Amino acid sequence: MAATNLVLILGTVLLAGLFFRPRFLASRLWRATVTPLASIIGSGFLVAAPILAHSAGTLAWAAMAGLCAVAWLFGAAIRFNIRQVEPRLTSSPPRSMLVLERLSDVTLSLAYFVSVSYYLNLFAAFGLRLGALTDPFWIRIAATSIIAAVGIVGGMGGLKGLERLEVVAVGLKLSLIGALFAALALALLFSLKAGSFTWQAPVHVRGWHEASVLLGLVILVQGFETSRYLGAEYSAEERVRTMRWAQLGASAIYLVFILLVTPYFLGAGAPGGEETAILDMLAPLGAATGPLIIMAALASQLSAAVADMNGSGGLISESTRRKLPVRAGNVVTALAAIAITWSANIYEIITWASKMFVAYYALQSAQATLAAWRGGQRALAVLFAAAVLLGVIIVLFAVPAGA
């Protein structure tokens, strides 16, 4: 469709002009928002529609709203910990608080190592696919080079060095996503005017298996926890505020996208959750769609990987009580991600990484439960205890898409 192709191209250019304005790029609060936002809108943005098409059908919007609500609950626990638990960790904290924090650190470190490797292997795969190169060996070579480059930037520039790279990647990604939304909205108007609008999805059985798949999709909206470990540069109030902005913005983007893309669900393909399924699904939108989505994929993987490396470097620094600076933490993360790239199949272990993230959320919710109870905030303690139970259920019963 010529009109949608034009909208895709012009929309990207116009939005890029907004996101790359020097005053916007220099905003301190925007930089603090970018890290969690980049991680939340990572590869999940690309696989959400195909997976939800098969697991929730035309109720995909409701499933996504539920996932965003669950993520908000876990985020509330982490925001509570930023305000109430962090200050106590530096001044003779209770043993239970210290144990929970150390368990959280170990769990999240392992998850970050895997996620950085996962994102940048996918980045390499998408990039090499432009040249019709799919050999796993060369994908690993490319992934190693990219991980090393990001690690060098993080090692030399620390948090601010990664932020500069991250801000550019997020600006590009949001420009592409905004243009895609405009093209989808235009196509929707055309179909409504022509009377050809349909609201259908692949036939599937709704039952416990689909519910188990949905439980495992919290990983799609994961990433807000990175704000917890940016304390070397940002105050507690700045991190709490910008985490809220990131979660609200990402939730809005996910919900609007799912609503706009639902009419294309019959092109979802096999229910495996492959990254490239979105290309086939949205092929009718126009010839410019494929290249735009590939560019969005590259920006998504890079920004999400950089965000997680940022979080990991801060986490390692904090857990060693600043004995290792954030720069050294970034290098450690890069080395671990390279080791994973060459020693394991990322697609086999990503499910375990997903569960590690949820296990971390459960541990942080347990931390918030105890802190709220000690502080006499019983209603909050009950709410955070419910988050712990939900996290345990997800870890025990979630299954990967296509299983």
pLDDT the model gives residue 272: 47
Number of structural domains (the chain) is 1
Task: Classify residue 88: in a domain, yes or no.
Answer: no
User: Average pLDDT, stretch 374-378?
Assistant: 92
Task: Classify residue 367: in a domain, yes or no.
Answer: no
Rounded distance between C-alpha atoms, residue 348 and residue 288, angstroms: 32
> Who has greater pLDDT, 158 or 11?
11
Question: Cβ of 65: how many Cβ atoms within 10 Å?
Answer: 15
Question: DSSP E strands: which ranges in 197-294?
Answer: none
Q: How is the chain split among helix, strand and coil, in percent rounded to 5? A: 80, 0, 20
User: Average pLDDT, stretch 325-353?
Assistant: 79
Task: Classify residue 143: in a domain, yes or no.
Answer: yes
Task: Classify residue 389: in a domain, yes or no.
Answer: no
Rounded distance between C-alpha atoms, residue 78 and residue 246, angstroms: 14
Task: Classify residue 97: in a domain, yes or no.
Answer: no
Whether the pLDDT of residue 319 is over 80: the answer is no
Q: Residue 253: which domain range?
A: 2-78+112-208+223-344
Task: Classify residue 265: in a domain, yes or no.
Answer: yes
Rounded distance between C-alpha atoms, residue 303 and residue 171, angstroms: 10
User: Average pLDDT, stretch 195-219?
Assistant: 71
User: Average pLDDT, stretch 22-35?
Assistant: 80
Rounded distance between C-alpha atoms, residue 226 and residue 202, angstroms: 36
One-letter amino acid at 293 equals I
Task: Classify residue 353: in a domain, yes or no.
Answer: no
Share the mean pLDDT of the chain. Answer: 81
One-letter amino acid at 298 equals L
Whether the pLDDT of residue 154 is over 60: the answer is yes
Task: Classify residue 372: in a domain, yes or no.
Answer: no
Instruction: Please list, in sequence order, all residues whose beta carbon lies within 8 angstroms of the beta carbon of residue 396, skipping any fewer than 6 positions away.
Output: none
